[in-house]
Chain A
Amino acid sequence: MTASAPLHLKVNGVPLERSVPPNRILLDLLREDLNLTGTKRGCDLGTCGCCTVLLDGVPTLSCLTLARLAEGAEVTTIEGLGEHGELTALQRAFVEHGATQCGFCTPGFLLAATALLRDHPTPSRQEIQEALSGNLCRCTGYVKILEAVEAACRTGLPAPSP
């Protein structure tokens, strides 16, 4: 498919202008073109949540999103969490509470949870489960992920997403 008019977007706070074929999905733009490989490809069908990024702050499955739909938008990937190499409270909580094992689902969970805590700083357990219900983890049984999100609420809010 041929490239057409350039796409403008901000990725992790950095403005970009790119020529992108109309059939390019956001996941490929991030992983292949921009080398942001923290966003994972787990199913290509929107069923696992591993490719979750924030599109204007909203958790979005990048495998089901055409890159062109991000025109004018701000995309936040796992590489965009935290500032100056510091982990966010949520990332720290994931480390300390054993919320990551194989780590493949972790970026997706972190982005979904970041959006949740931005809008609801003190969610109930049920609200956390609902907010993360689009993300599958096969290692942890979710227990430590939920504990980590709750711990992050107690210790401090994550940095607001750009």
Chain B
Amino acid sequence: MAKSASGPAVPPHPLAPASGKGYRLIGRRLPLVDAALKVTGRAEYTDDLKRPGLLVGRLLKSTQAHARIAGVDVSAARALPGVAAVLTGRRFPTPFGVLPMTHDETALAVEKVRHYGEWVAAVAAVDEETCEKALRRIEVRYEPLPVYDDPGVSERPVTEKIHARALRDTNIQKEVFQHFGDVPRAFQEAFAEVKVQGRFAGVNHGFTEPHCVLAEASPDGRLTVWSATQVPHYLLRALSEVLGLPLHRIRVIKPEVGGGFGGKSDPFPHEIACAALAVETGRPVKLLLDREDVFYVNHGRHPTRNLVRLAADEKGTFTALDVEALLDGGAFSSFGVVTTYYNGVLALGPYRLPSFRYHGVRAYTNHPPSGAMRAHGGTNIRYSLEMAVDALAERLGRDPVALRLQNLLPADTQTVNEFRITSNGAEACLLAARDRSRWRERFRQLPYGEGIGVACGFYISGSNSPIHFTPRFPQSTVHLKVDVDGGVTIHSGAADIGQGSKTLLAQVVAEVLGIRMDRTRVAAVDSDTAPVDLGSYSSRVTFMMGNAAKRAAEELREALAQAAGDILGEPPAGLVFEDERIHRDGSPEVGVDFLAAVHRAMEHRGALVASGSYESPPMGGTFKGAKAGTAPAYSFSAYVSQVKVDLETGFVDVKKVWAAFDCGRPLNPLAVEGQIEGSIHMGLGQLLSESMDYRGARLMNPSLLDYKILAPQQMPEVECLLVGGEDPEGPFGAKEAGEGPLIPVLPSVGAAVHDALGIRFLDLPLTPDKVFRALERARREGTARKPPLPGETREG
């Protein structure tokens, strides 16, 4: 296995199994435990569920981007036979939101609407047809207000604030100033500086399963909500706040979720509205959004403009980074406070930066709300930063890999803003990507129109600051139960959204107990039985849930070792758990079956239970915003991408991506590769074709026909290089692999296009029309040629 920053010159073979400790399951390529259900159509998603007496719920969309609601007349809709309930915003007006300090969404619009497609009324009826009829009979009187479709306008004084809570007389939702070291002086003294101005269209998660929720209020005073959510616990809290029910009377169940990517991590208006309909009617109500609705609900990646200035001394050592970012928050706050910080502070790895300044603004507009999307807050800033590093290398006549290697943070250090860096495989990643891609023979040496580019990445492995929680509670807890049958039930509140957290639970518990994975069964997620886990966001699950599961299994193992020791007359400490047996180390014949130990341990006590939890250690500085971006570990990455640009059409064909990633010890390389490949697909979509296209405040492409996700024939070849060392605090040495892998693909392709054409594109998506126009200009100006080859590249 590769060591961390001081790692070997020759990386290990890709996918070399995690070494050393003789794990049976950890580090193996294991199929997901629920795969058989999914390939047979037996996996149950929310829309597959039916309940006796089920009603259909539907929502009325606003036809205005920004307007006061002068009146809503629902009488004709209520009078329609088959209609069970019609609700407007005034029935449940309590605001909610994912962050406790920015509650500004409501189940249904109350006094005004803030974006086209915002929900204004909700209907429950016997069938879909009746619902649609009822919606058409609702009359809403709007008084139009000034519409804000540009964050550049919203950050200045406005005549009509979108939210009263916006700063001063503007529509600014959040503004961040940070300064470490002396940035102006560093620029004054710099040998070289580069400036990059990036512009990024908004993008949508594009999960295949549209949002769906089923809610049922039962006569015993309880409310049960099944929802396609990434964070069952935050949904439960939001339901309690808005509906006024105590937490213990609400039960949230997460069925299978058809993809999330951050887009199912907020508590959503439709979830609350559906529950409100259930409470109102006393009957189960199911509410399924259509694809257009999904685009209007959005909460996707922020449309962003940023400005990055990077300074270096004569040796090419970075001396300062200065970042400005302006984010289009859309109509609501969502995770916006976090997003605003992340768009600056997530630039602080993997490079050593002795001084850093950041000014970030997130402004409300009348676009559908932006929110968290895979590699939240780390994607757009990374593109501009890596393009700046690429430009600096060119300015200095340096090889971009060598310049990066020179500037990497070491392991076990602290960044200028006091991020605690522990394991760090950045160097191993760069070396692996460089060598596997035959960088030295290709960079600047492919024909005009073809190119190769490199970029690094850096991402949190679980946010250290829990949302909604006193820090004295753990971020993740796992319970185990084993009874006479010897099956181990794993209770967890972590949401498997396809990434494989159920498989990880089974794998970790079975590893520790020396049993087969099929002796375990994962019960996730039912809030009545599952201990709280803060859910699937901030790439936290492997690290936090994994540690909690390991500790729970270790507690159970202690009880079983005691019981086995009693049977065998052996000291428990010397017993080994393997192959479904518990035996003396080195003498498998002196042992008992797992089941015999379970039965012994159960005598006069009954079923065995165990609990484990994870709480991240205290970290981060004491200045304002110091906790943003702190994490118990960070993933590192370096990708090299190769492209061929069609010089006639401007079409960029990504041929191959060498994806070197440090996720610590990969617990299940098959699943890690799946995360990397999927991330590359999503990142390339944002880079090449995906864009929320607005005309004014109107979204022009709310369908998968016009919003272009890459199809199978558009994916490049991907070579995954898992080169991380063990993380000291991750479960079995593991770190995240769910979000970080998206980050480096965009700038590595951006740099490859620059290598191909000598043009640096800073306005995403990089669609053929933009490339074609730039090519035409280059031809006119006689600059259509490859940039020069730095001598350093071939010398290495």
A positions within 8 Å CB-CB of B: 31, 35-45, 47-48, 50, 77-79, 81-82, 87, 91, 94-98, 100-107, 110, 126, 128-130, 132-133, 135-146
* A98-B673 contact in complex given A40-B258, A107-B41, A132-B712, C-beta closer than 8 Å: yes
Most chain A beta-carbon neighbours within 10 Å: one of B45, B47, B209, B499: B209
Q: Is the CB of A87 within 8 A of B498?
A: no
Minimum distance in angstroms from B777 CB to a CB of chain A = 33
* A40-B208 contact in complex given A98-B671, A146-B712, C-beta closer than 8 Å: yes
Return the CB mask of B27-69 against A: 1 if under 8 Å, else 0. 0010110111111111111011010000000000000000000
Contacts of B44 in A (CB 8 A): 37
Q: Is the CB of A95 within 8 A of B677?
A: no
- B711 contacts the other chain (CB 8 A): yes
- B682 contacts the other chain (CB 8 A): yes
Q: Is the CB of A106 within 8 A of B39?
A: yes
Complex: chain A residue closest to B720, CB-CB: A143
Complex: chain A residue closest to B49, CB-CB: A37
Minimum distance in angstroms from A77 CB to a CB of chain B = 7
Q: Bound state CA distance, A106 and B259, in angstroms?
A: 12
Q: Is the CB of B40 within 8 A of A79?
A: yes
- Which residue in A44, A101, A105, A136 is a CB contact (below 8 Å) of B674? A101
- Which residue in A42, A103, A126, A145 is a CB contact (below 8 Å) of B210? A42
A-B contact pairs, 23 of them (CB 8 A): A36-B41, A39-B41, A40-B45, A40-B208, A44-B290, A45-B704, A48-B291, A101-B499, A101-B678, A102-B259, A102-B498, A103-B38, A103-B43, A104-B256, A105-B258, A110-B39, A138-B208, A138-B259, A141-B677, A141-B680, A142-B712, A144-B677, A146-B712
B positions within 8 Å CB-CB of A: 29, 31-32, 34-45, 47-48, 50, 205-210, 256-261, 288, 290-291, 497-500, 670-671, 673-674, 677-682, 703-705, 709, 711-713, 715, 718
Contacts of A95 in B (CB 8 A): 31-32, 35-36, 39
Minimum distance in angstroms from A84 CB to a CB of chain B = 13
Q: Bound state CA distance, A102 and B677, in angstroms?
A: 14
Q: Bound state CA distance, A42 and B341, in angstroms?
A: 34
Minimum distance in angstroms from A34 CB to a CB of chain B = 12
Contacts of A128 in B (CB 8 A): 712
Q: Is the CB of A45 within 8 A of B674?
A: no
Contacts of B39 in A (CB 8 A): 78, 87, 91, 94-95, 100, 103, 106, 110
Q: Bound state CA distance, A100 and B41, in angstroms?
A: 12
- Which residue in A44, A98, A133 is a CB contact (below 8 Å) of B712? A133
Contacts of B257 in A (CB 8 A): 102
Q: Is the CB of B670 within 8 A of A133?
A: no
Minimum distance in angstroms from A149 CB to a CB of chain B = 10
Q: Is the CB of A136 within 8 A of B711?
A: yes
* A79-B674 contact in complex given A102-B258, A104-B258, A142-B712, C-beta closer than 8 Å: no
Complex: chain A residue closest to B713, CB-CB: A129
- Given contacts A37-B44, A91-B39, could you give 12 more A-B pairs where the C-beta distance is less than 8 Å? A41-B210, A43-B210, A43-B703, A44-B290, A87-B40, A96-B31, A98-B31, A101-B498, A140-B674, A140-B681, A142-B712, A143-B715
Q: Bound state CA distance, A145 and B682, in angstroms?
A: 16
Contacts of B680 in A (CB 8 A): 141
* A142-B681 contact in complex given A94-B35, A95-B36, A136-B208, C-beta closer than 8 Å: yes
Q: Is the CB of B41 within 8 A of A37?
A: yes
Q: Bound state CA distance, A131 and B195, in angstroms?
A: 45
Q: Bound state CA distance, A146 and B714, in angstroms?
A: 13
Contacts of B207 in A (CB 8 A): 102, 104, 138
Closest 9 CB pairs of A and B: A38-B41, A102-B498, A104-B258, A103-B38, A141-B681, A78-B41, A141-B677, A101-B498, A37-B48
Q: Bound state CA distance, A105 and B39, in angstroms?
A: 10
Complex: chain B residue closest to A49, CB-CB: B208
Q: Is the CB of A100 within 8 A of B38?
A: yes
Contacts of A135 in B (CB 8 A): 712
- Which residue in B32, B290, B713 is a CB contact (below 8 Å) of A126? B713
Minimum distance in angstroms from A26 CB to a CB of chain B = 15
Q: Bound state CA distance, A50 and B259, in angstroms?
A: 13
* A100-B208 contact in complex given A129-B712, A129-B713, C-beta closer than 8 Å: no
Q: Is the CB of B718 within 8 A of A143?
A: yes
Contacts of A142 in B (CB 8 A): 677, 681, 712, 715
Minimum distance in angstroms from A51 CB to a CB of chain B = 11
Complex: chain A residue closest to B29, CB-CB: A98
Q: Is the CB of A141 within 8 A of B709?
A: no
Minimum distance in angstroms from B6 CB to a CB of chain A = 32
Q: Is the CB of B674 within 8 A of A98?
A: yes
Q: Is the CB of A145 within 8 A of B712?
A: yes
Q: Is the CB of A138 within 8 A of B677?
A: no
Q: Is the CB of B31 within 8 A of A102?
A: no
Contacts of B681 in A (CB 8 A): 138, 140-142
Contacts of A36 in B (CB 8 A): 41
Contacts of B48 in A (CB 8 A): 31, 37
Contacts of A104 in B (CB 8 A): 45, 207-209, 256, 258-259, 498
Complex: chain A residue closest to B711, CB-CB: A133
Complex: chain B residue closest to A134, CB-CB: B711
Q: Is the CB of A139 within 8 A of B498?
A: yes
Contacts of B42 in A (CB 8 A): 38
Minimum distance in angstroms from B185 CB to a CB of chain A = 45
Minimum distance in angstroms from B58 CB to a CB of chain A = 14
Q: Is the CB of B258 within 8 A of A103?
A: yes
Q: Bound state CA distance, A81 and B38, in angstroms?
A: 13
Q: Bound state CA distance, A98 and B259, in angstroms?
A: 15
Q: Is the CB of B678 within 8 A of A140?
A: yes
* A144-B674 contact in complex given A37-B48, A42-B210, C-beta closer than 8 Å: yes
Q: Is the CB of A144 within 8 A of B709?
A: no
Complex: chain B residue closest to A111, CB-CB: B41
Q: Is the CB of B709 within 8 A of A138?
A: yes
Q: Is the CB of B290 within 8 A of A106?
A: no
Minimum distance in angstroms from B559 CB to a CB of chain A = 34
Complex: chain B residue closest to A105, CB-CB: B208
Q: Is the CB of A42 within 8 A of B208?
A: yes
* A130-B713 contact in complex given A38-B41, A95-B36, A98-B674, C-beta closer than 8 Å: yes
Q: Bound state CA distance, A35 and B712, in angstroms?
A: 30
Q: Is the CB of A45 within 8 A of B703?
A: yes
Contacts of A105 in B (CB 8 A): 208, 258
Q: Is the CB of A47 within 8 A of B704?
A: yes
Q: Is the CB of B258 within 8 A of A133?
A: no
Q: Bound state CA distance, A145 and B261, in angstroms?
A: 19
Q: Is the CB of B209 within 8 A of A102?
A: yes
Contacts of B677 in A (CB 8 A): 140-144
